[in-house]
Amino acid sequence: MEKVVLAYSGGLDTSVMVRWLKEKYGFEVVTVIVDVGQQEDLKAIEEKAKLVGAIKHYTIDAKKEFIENFVFPAIKANALYEGKYPLSSALSRPLIAKKLVEIARKEEASAVAHGCTGRGNDQVRFEVTIEALAPDLKIIAPVREWKLTREEEVEYAKKYGIHITPKKHPYSIDQNLWGRSIECGPLDNPNQEPPKDVFEWTANPEEAPDKPEYVTVRFEEGIPTAINGENMDGVELISSLNKIAGKHGVGRIDHVEDRVVGLKSREVYECPAAICLIEAHKDLEKLVLTRHELMFKEWVDLYWGWLVYSGLWVEPLREDLEAFIEKTQERVSGEVRLKLYRGNVMVVGRSSPFSLHLEPEYDQSIASGFIRLWGLQTKSFHLKSKRER
């Protein structure tokens, strides 16, 4: 029998898929879950995969790879899609796709499958990456193909004795070390304030501590390496900062987002560490990069974020842009002091051996000549316009 490698989450969709892929295509199903810090019971998910019919299951710990190869480049690029979203889910998709391909090769499978719908961005992110890395593999998207409602999926599961864990809430949630994404239910109404039960990582700013907390982040060539003087690896640093900032209600995002497929979607995120680190990194860049580098990098960063959001991690332009970004990061080393208070993060101090802050030998007397030259063409325009009138 041919094999298919399925990106498995343990939820209703992917559990039903195991049976459906066997029934419709005659596949043997190998399931894979990639641990990017989603904080789930991975052992229970493995047991469920085998229970619903998978012939083999892989649990891959990719947290370190996720942070170092995907999140760190995003920090260097100050990646905020449409000025808001730190790309938490988007960054994990090409990594998961890469692991699916690796397991497919190992298992000599002829196809891979995912649980994305036809309405979202993830189908694009998975399939563009998989097709680039393994054009010979067939890609199957059962949810997009079968168009079953949740109620129909439940009936299908009951028919084949697939155990279903009742949902505790109406939301669709995706999370990893870099952030938590919440959709559906009351959030489908863009005019309704998110209910309190939407949030898990961040305190309600109104109920957060009434005393601010100061956090100092050290960067080395654009990469965060220490908090309050304590050296940490990427996974530990981001996990720690998520808790510290989340306690103060920092990191809540609520905005209307333009999806790749053309839809506008109301999105709610919790990204405490991401918001803090990007804010700190951008501020440090202002201290050490020239005006011209900063202006050009803003455009580069914007395009880098758009490529990643749009599922084009494997597009060569991303690496081209990163060549410029990496060059700028050679001087982005130093410390940034953050003040966390009731949902806000403020930069209140920064230092670097590469600081371009005001030099003491600045000669103020040269300013008048500069001003005359700087405004010369503007002045000439107005003089000429007056004569013509």
Which residue among the candidates 35, 110, 144, 172 is catalytic per the annotation?
A: 172
301 is catalytic: no
172 is catalytic: yes
What residue spans in the chain does CATH classification 3.40.50.620 cover? 3-172
Which residue among the candidates 88, 89, 122, 301 is catalytic per the annotation?
A: 122
Residue 103 CA to residue 274 CA, distance in Å, equals 30
Nearest to 56 by CA among 134, 94, 4: 4
pTM of the predicted structure, to 2 decimals: 0.95
Which residue among the candidates 9, 88, 93, 352 is catalytic per the annotation?
A: 93
Assign a CATH topology to domain 177-351.
Argininosuccinate synthetase, chain A, domain 2 (3.90.1260)
pLDDT of residue 389: 62
Nearest to 33 by CA among 153, 176, 145, 216: 176
pLDDT of residue 364: 87
| Weakest mean pLDDT among 95-109, 150-164, 250-264 | 150-164
Assign a CATH topology to domain 3-172.
Rossmann fold (3.40.50)
**pLDDT tens digit sequence for 283-323:** 999 999 999 999 999 999 999 999 999 999 999 999 999 99
Q: How many CB atoms lie within 10 A of CB 203?
A: 19
How many residues belong to the chain?
A: 389
**pLDDT tens digit sequence for 330-380:** 999 999 999 999 999 999 999 999 999 977 678 888 999 999 999 999 999
Reported as half-sphere exposure (CB side, CA atoms, 13 A), residue 200 has a value of 11
| Weakest mean pLDDT among 71-85, 88-102, 113-127 | 113-127
What residue spans in the chain does CATH classification 3.90.1260.10 cover? 177-351
Reported as half-sphere exposure (CB side, CA atoms, 13 A), residue 387 has a value of 6
Which residue among the candidates 9, 13, 89, 333 is catalytic per the annotation?
A: 13
Residue 360 CA to residue 343 CA, distance in Å, equals 37
